[in-house]
């Protein structure tokens, strides 16, 4: 019987400031505690306030209104509704006292943006997992090396995991999942 499930989160934004900037690309992957994928949610969204977007945020996220339209982007209200529905559906599929445990590379940042979008009562915010922290543990304590790389691209590369399109939430989520699997295998002593 399985008691916990994880949700791997990756978001791309119009900038770095929650409350000012918005999510324009999100992927959530629900996994078993063994990191087997159960379901995926991914969508692009148009910002409600594009005038507040930072130039760097737009460049990093790749947001382009015409391209997003071609790819079926939704507005922020639909993004919020669909994201919350996905998480609540999986919350119901977990055991009654269990919540989904969020995992991300930069978990606090992703959760800050998610919190402005939806209620986070489906997530166990007392237990969060940050990929860069696990990577740092592995590199510093077990390998005896200096500070571990903190960017997802560097973490993935150091573990032999491919990251084809950095800053695409789908590709970043898959690289996070595969990096976690590699770290899990390496940490088995």
Question: In this structure, what token pair is assigned to residue 140?
Answer: 């510093």
Spatial separation of the C-alpha atoms in residues 97 and 116, rounded to whole Å: 25
Q: What is the mean pLDDT of each run of 10 residues along the chain (189 residues)?
A: 77 94 97 93 97 95 95 96 91 70 88 86 76 73 58 85 93 94 79
Helices (H), the chain: 55-61, 65-70, 76-93, 107-117, 131-137, 152-158, 169-187
What pLDDT is stored for residue 116 in this prediction?
87
pLDDT for res 106: 86
**How far is residue 48's CA from residue 51's CA, in Å, rounded to a whole number?**
9
pLDDT in tens, 120-153: 777 777 778 888 777 777 666 555 565 555 788 8
Cα separation, 34 vs 141, whole angstroms: 23
Q: Would you state the pLDDT for residue 148?
A: 55
pLDDT of residue 53: 96
pTM of the model: 0.89
């Amino acid at each position: 019987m399985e008691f916990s499930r994880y949700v791997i989160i990756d978001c791309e934004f119009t900038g770095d400031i929650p409350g000012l900037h918005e999510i324009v690309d999100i992927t959530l992957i629900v996994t078993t505690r063994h990191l087997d994928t159960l379901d995926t949610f991914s969508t692009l969204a148009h910002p409600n306030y594009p005038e507040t977007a930072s130039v760097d945020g737009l460049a990093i996220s790749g947001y382009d209104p015409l391209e997003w339209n071609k790819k079926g982007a939704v507005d922020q209200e639909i993004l919020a509704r669909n994201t919350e529905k996905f998480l609540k559906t999986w919350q119901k599929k977990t055991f009654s006292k269990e919540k989904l445990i969020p995992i991300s590379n930069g978990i606090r940042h992703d959760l800050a943006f998610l919190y402005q979008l939806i209620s986070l009562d489906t997530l166990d915010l007392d237990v969060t997992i940050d990929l860069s922290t696990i990577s740092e543990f592995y590199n510093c304590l077990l390998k005896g090396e200096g500070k571990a790389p903190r960017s997802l691209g560097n973490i993935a590369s150091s573990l032999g995991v491919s990251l084809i399109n950095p800053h695409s939430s789908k590709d970043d989520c898959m690289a996070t999942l595969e990096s976690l699997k590699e770290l899990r295998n390496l940490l088995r002593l």
